[in-house]
Structures are given as structure tokens and as C-alpha cells.
A = this chain, B = another copy of it.
Amino acid sequence: MAALTAPDRNPKPDRNPKQDRSRATRQRLLEAAVSCLAEHGWAGSTVAVVAERAGVSRGAAQHHFPTREDLFTAAVEYVAEERSQALRALPSDNREQAVSGIVDLYTGPLFRAALHLWVAAANEDQLRDRVAELEARVGRESHRIAVEVLGADESRPGVRETVQGLLDMARGLGLATLLTDDRARRERVVSQWARLVNEALTG
């Protein structure tokens, strides 16, 4: 209401065009980094390739992300936030549909990008600790949201591990979809596991 009754005051005092441009550049770089990782893997993903893809100068890219590791861990953190938002938006009134929605989030290009960084981190000293910390944080957050969406009561024995195993299965299905179109098989597996999870959570 304040903005309507006082039209002469700046309605967004915390933003200005320069900051907006900077945010938009950062966003374009993150999105380009995600696509680049998903399509070319870690070996084919450099700051220069991403800057060109985003239509941003290399200097501007390095202003936002001083190192290759900064850029790609930020990109995977961005992916994780997108996934968390999508998880929160899943229907919480139909558990089998929620299971299927959770798996979908691990089998698309966002997961593919994260997978490439994850595997590269196993052999890159500059990446390992950062990605391990990021994945642990993201894993806890995904678990927390999945518990909510599934309406799971974690005070009951076994419920916590049922949900964790479901997320592990979703990651395994994401891996299976990397080289071939695994959709038909996946749908049958998910439909059966959705039943198992529903029974286990209803108990």
C-alpha cells in the first residue's frame, strides 16, 4: 500500500539499473555454465566457453567469478536452488505423484550438470572439498523438502531411511539416463517404488 499512497517515493530503494544489469549478467553466466556442464562435461567447461555462450566479456565473467571453480560450484548451487523450488511445488496431496515428481527432478539436464561437477570433483583437489560441502548441504535440504512433500512422519522408525533410499534411487535413475533414453523402464520402476514408499510411509 505504501507504494500506492506515496507515488513520488522510490518504490524499490534497494535496486538500481546498474545492479539490475549486474544481476542479469550473473544469472546469464550461471545458466550458460549449467548448460555447458550438461552438454560438454567438466573437461569441456571453461570460463571462456561459458562467457562466450552467455554473450558476456571474459573480463566481466571473471569479475563475477574469479576462478573456474567459483563459476561452476556457483552454477551447481544455482541448480540446487532451482531443484529445491521445484520440489516445494510438488503436490503434497498425492504421495505416488510426489514420488514420480521427485525422480523427474533427478533425471533432467540440471541433474546432469551437477553429476558432471560431482564426478570431476573426485579427482580435482581444488573442487573436492567445496563440492562435497555443497552436496552435503543440498542433500540435507532435498531430504527435508522430500519429507514434507511426502507427508512423512520421521519420528516413526525407518521412515527417515525410506525417504533417503528413495532419493538415492532417484540419483541412480539419473545416472542411468545419462547415455540412453531410459524413460520407459524408469516409469515402470518409479510406479512400483512409489507403491512401496507409500505403503512404508503409511505403515
Binding site for B on A (CB under 8 A): 39-44, 112, 115-116, 118-123, 128, 131-132, 135-136, 139, 158, 160-162, 164-165, 167-176, 178-180, 185, 188-193, 195-196, 200
Contact = CB atoms under 8 A, between A and B. Distances in A.
Given A188-B161, A193-B165, A123 B172 contact: no
14 contacts: A39-B123, A40-B123, A116-B119, A118-B179, A128-B179, A136-B180, A160-B188, A161-B193, A164-B189, A165-B196, A168-B173, A168-B176, A170-B172, A171-B175
Contact of A119 (B119, B164, B176): B119
Given A119-B115, A180-B132, A200 B196 contact: yes
Given A171-B172, A172-B171, A179 B121 contact: yes
Contacts of A158: 192, 195
A175 B118 contact: yes
B119 A41 contact: yes
Given A135-B180, A158-B192, A160-B188, 7 more contacts: A43-B43, A116-B119, A118-B179, A162-B196, A165-B189, A165-B193, A170-B172
A160 B121 CA distance: 34
Contacts of A173: 168, 172
Contacts of A180: 132, 135-136
Given A41-B122, A192-B158, A169 B176 contact: no
B165 A123 contact: no
A167 B169 CA distance: 8
A161 B192 contact: yes
Contact of A196 (B121, B170, B196): B196
